[in-house]
Each structure stands twice: as C-alpha cells, then as structure tokens.
Chains A and B, each alone.
Chain A
Amino acid sequence: MNALASLRVALTALRINALRSALAMLGVIIGVASVIVLVSISEGTKQAVEAQIASFGANLLIIRPGSSMFGGRRGGAGSADPMTDGDVVAIRTEIAGLAGVSGEVSASTTLVFGGINWTSRIQGVNPDYFSARGWVIAEGRAFSGAEDVSGRRYVVVGQTIVQELFDGASPLGQAIRIGGQPFEVIGTLERKGETSWGQDQDDVVFAPLSTVRQRFGAGMSATVRDAVSTIYADIAPGESTSRVIADIEDLLRIRREIQPGAEDDFAVGSLAEFIRARNETESQLGLLLAVGAGIVLLVGGIGIMNIMLVSVTERTREIGLRLAVGARRADVRNQFLIESIVLCVIGGLAGLVVGVGGTLVYAEVGQLDIVIDPVIVAIAIGASAFVGVFFGLYPAHRASRLNPIDALRFE
C-alpha cells in the first residue's frame, strides 16, 4: 500500500467523523495558535528593546562623576569632581577598542527664528558624539574637529526643531538666535521618535562643545574651567564591553588619584546592558508563556491519542477485514499513524491561521510590535506533526496487533 493510498484512506476516515476530528484537533489548534501569538509578541518586544538600544547607541558607555565624600558626609549623585576635557582626551588616546569618545555639556536656552521662539536645550558635544549616540545626518553635515576646537557658532538640529522653527522647510544656512547670539544651521538629524517613556528624542540642538562652554558658560565653575557633565564612549564592534569598562575605570582611578581599596567616585555604565536587564524579566515571562503553550500542545496530543484509541476500538471490524483481505500489520499501523499525523497537521495549519490572525489583531489593538518569524511558524507546524507521530504511535500499534479473527467477530 503506497503513501498516497494511505493518505486517501486517512482523509476519508477523518471526513466520515468530521465533528469528532475537529474536536480532536482543538487542542492542537489552541496549542499552535498560542505558541505563535506568544512567541511573536515576545520577539516583537525583544526587537523593540533592541531598536531602543540602537537609538541610544548600541555599544555606548556613559561615564559620569559619582558622589563626593567630605568628612564622612556623602554628597548627592554627581557631586564628585566633574569629568573634564582632559579625561575625554585621555580616554580617547589611551583606551584601545573605542570607535569614538565625546564629552557633553548643556544649557537651557531659547531659540528664535524670525518671529517664532522655542525653548529647548543646547548641547555642546565633540564630533564623535553623533556616531556614538546613533545619530544620522539627514541633511547638510556635522561640525568637524577643527570647528569644535575653534568654537564656531554652528548648530545641528533635530527634526522637532525643524518642525517648530522652520515649519518643516530646510533650515540649512539659516541663522537662528540662541540665547541672543546668532548660530548657523549646518545640518539636520534623522528622526529617532519617542523613547518608550515618551520623551521626544528629536527636540535637540547640538553645537561644538567649546562653543557652548564659551557662549553659555556651561560646564564652568570657579575651580574647573573645562568640565563636561558626561562622557560618552562608543565601543568598537567586536570589542569586549567589560574589558573596555575595566580599562576606563583603571585610567580614571589614576587620573582622579583614588587610593587602592577606596571606592570609585565615578560610574562607567552601559546603557544597552541596563535596558536589557530591565527587559530581562519580560523576556523570561515570554519564555514561561511559550512553555505554557507547549503544555497546551502536549495536552492536545493526549486528546489526539484518546480519539485515536476510540477510533481504533470503533473500527475493530474494519481492521479485521483489512487484515483478512491482505493488509500487512505495517499497512494498518501506517493507516492510523497517517490519520493521526493528518489530524495534527490540519490542526497545526488551523492553529497557524488563528495564531497569525490573533497576533495581527493584538498588534493592531495594543499598538504593539510583533515579529512573525517563519522559523517559529515552521517549528509550530513541525511540532504538531511530531505530536501526531508521538501520540498516534501507540493507538496505531494497537490496531496493527489485532488478531483478524477476533477483530472480525468484534461487536
């Protein structure tokens, strides 16, 4: 008996008991559908997190001063000595495996163009900042290292500024007044959108660091003239994050004259790791749900086995007849096995339709990211076929071991 004939026999048997077949499939349908929905949502969340990390700069390190210690009294965050241009240069020149290093200072200010004004922050940065933070120039250019050093009054603006001050028109070459001083717009940045906590990332104005320091007094105090509030370091692809962090920490401990055994008065943090850690629990929850869906599939398989056992008992005479007219034991076993597999694969396909549909509805209603991975779809269908084989084997084996004489007499 060939496979095609077996398949035809199986389909006929399933059609004859259409309702029962459908009910038997239900467990597999729900199992496969929930696997697809849960994995799609979990994958979507993961990708959203990665996108968020990329929008900050995928391999970004943030270096900030910590708290000061004065006579046993600890100051607040950032109260220790600030980072300086000297630290930026030292990190840039002495730490291996960095793609770029930039300091940052900022000042709150009002931008004016024509009759329109807009309050924002002006950030003074080094040219490496743009690549380190994952900014892409949309139009024009960023300022150069030489322009940074010489303190040119150039700005590169985000799309919110383009919208608010220029009503969406190209601002290149336009002069805007920032804190009463004229600046030329030399570039615009591609849109990043909002962060997951709703902050507008495009409401930004960047100028050379020295310009902001000179013009706005940012990062200057009575004692320190070249402070930066934060240093951003971009780790080159393929470099070890922990190694680079350790190197920077060693360097800064020497520069800040911290005694061996004393605590660091600064912090080197990885934003990507922070965000991943924050989402760790979420992805573990996703895994847990996927395990739950797998259990549903398992229960579905037990349902299939139950139905197949009932079917074998009901069709004892048919099995006896088939054996009498020349079916080999393997033919009978294959017939029931194929029935079980067909049942599960049809259930799997129905589950696929329900799962993909459910995922799309969920994404639409919840405004959430989803990723329907063809690999997961293939795995779900494969898993249902496996359930068919696994839970069909015992009933099929039982059918094939029947004695034709007893089976024919079965009432």
Chain B
Amino acid sequence: MSALIECRDLVKTYEMGDQVVHALNGVSLDIEAGEYVAIMGTSGSGKSTLMNLLGALDQPTSGELRIAGEDVRALGPDAVSRFRNRTIGFVFQQFNLLPRTSALENAALPLIYSGLPHAERVKRSMARLQQVGLGERTDHHPAQLSGGQQQRVAIARALVNDPKILLADEPTGALDTKTSADIMAIFDQLNREGITVILVTHEQEVADHARRQIVFRDGVIVEDRS
C-alpha cells in the first residue's frame, strides 16, 4: 500500500522578471493516511509552495506528485477541481468566508460544486457545524461571529465533503492564544478520528500539536522529525 501523499524530486520555479526563483528544489516526501504533520519554515522557505502543490492548487515544474493515488500532474483543470472538491479540505489564515452569507451557507459551499441537492447540503453542513461547536449559530453572518467562531465555520466547510486530507495554512495566525488553543484542540480531535491533518505554520507551539514536523529552508527539507 503506497502512501497517501507521495512526492518525488518536486521542483517548483517561478520567473520573477528576468530572475528564476527556485521555490522548491527537489523535495521528496511521503505522508501516510492518518498522520498529523506540521510543515515549518520561515517566509520564503518553500513551505507555502509545497502547501499549494499538496492542495492541488498548483502544478510542480518537475518531479512526481501522487495524492490519494492520483497523479495530480495528469489531471486537467476540471478534473483537478473535482479532485480538490472531494479529496482536500482547506483552512486559511484569513478564514475566507463569504461576507453577508450565513454560517450554514458558508459551510455548505463545497457541496454546491459536488452537485448535491439542497436538502442534503443543509443536512451535512449542519452536522459539521455541530461537530465544531457552532450548532446554535448556523444563521449568523461572519460579521456576527468572533474570529474563533469564523475559523470554526471554515473548518466545518473544509470537512463538509469528507476529505481525505485537511490542509491548514497558518490556521491560528489571526487568532489570540486562548482561541488558538481551542482551534488546535479541534484539529487534534479530528486527527484522532482518523483524518490526515497537515498544518503549515511558523509557530512552534502550533507545530507541537503535530506528531511529525518537517522544516523547510531555501526550498529543501532540512529536518523531518517524528
């Protein structure tokens, strides 16, 4: 049985004017199903680039990338959208909720693109909001919710399609310490329930929740400890 995520010699280069920037410079990495991984590094270390590749938001310049058995490089634009929709749940630092839209509708957003009927969308997103402790506030708009509550809505949205991988990019970056702890507790719980969680962070405290920490510098892995 192969790993959930397999990276072989991943290279990602960007052209910035006449300069070529090597964001990733030969990264090989396996992540098994059910792992709890923190990807660390300073700004510009390549961790965000890896995050984008693991989330199938971007394609590597060279190398191999298989996620859940799928060769991401071989997927066309529509197929890659469907793949993201079914396989990956995203949590962002800035929550990225739709303004003036209820928590329920925000959480249900990915299901619209799965083509589920309205009743089913409501049922599933309601269940996920209850799971993250927001069962009472499903009709609130983002502006009526605290930062922590907004991030819970975002987590419910990430979970609503039963993804294999939860990708969180600095999920506590916009939250205070107490709220951060609450949010991290949710990730811990989700991982215990079997979901593969990948955190991208530069905070050691957040990374300490994970059981495996991978540290990036200048586009290469400098440390991978469990």
Contacts and interface: CB of A to CB of B under 8 A. Distances in A.
Contacts of A408: 92, 96
A329 interface: yes
A184 interface: no
> For chain B, what secondary structure do more than half of its interface residues adopt (helix, strand, loop), or is it mixed?
helix
A405 B84 CA distance: 13
A331 B77 CA distance: 12
A323 interface: yes
Interface stretch (A169-177, A187-195, A314-322, A365-373): A314-322
Contact of A16 (B58, B99, B118, B161): B99
B171 interface: no
A317 B84 contact: no
B85 A326 contact: yes
A324 B90 contact: yes
Contact of A321 (B82, B96, B161): B96
A299 interface: no
B21 interface: no
Interface stretch (B61-69, B109-117, B205-213): B109-117
A322 B109 contact: yes
A326 B55 CA distance: 11
A218 B101 CA distance: 90
Interface residues on B, range: 20 to 34
Given A2-B115, A12-B101, A325 B77 contact: no
A327 interface: yes
Dominant SS among interface residues on chain A = helix
Interface string A29-60: 00000000000000000000000000000000
Given A325-B157, A405-B57, A405-B58, 18 more contacts: A1-B113, A1-B115, A5-B118, A16-B99, A318-B98, A321-B98, A322-B109, A324-B90, A325-B110, A326-B82, A326-B84, A326-B110, A326-B113, A326-B114, A328-B78, A329-B77, A329-B78, A404-B57
Interface of B: 52, 55, 57-58, 77-78, 81-82, 84-86, 90, 92, 96, 98-101, 109-110, 112-115, 118, 157, 161
10 contacts: A9-B112, A16-B99, A323-B81, A325-B157, A326-B82, A326-B85, A326-B110, A326-B114, A327-B113, A328-B81
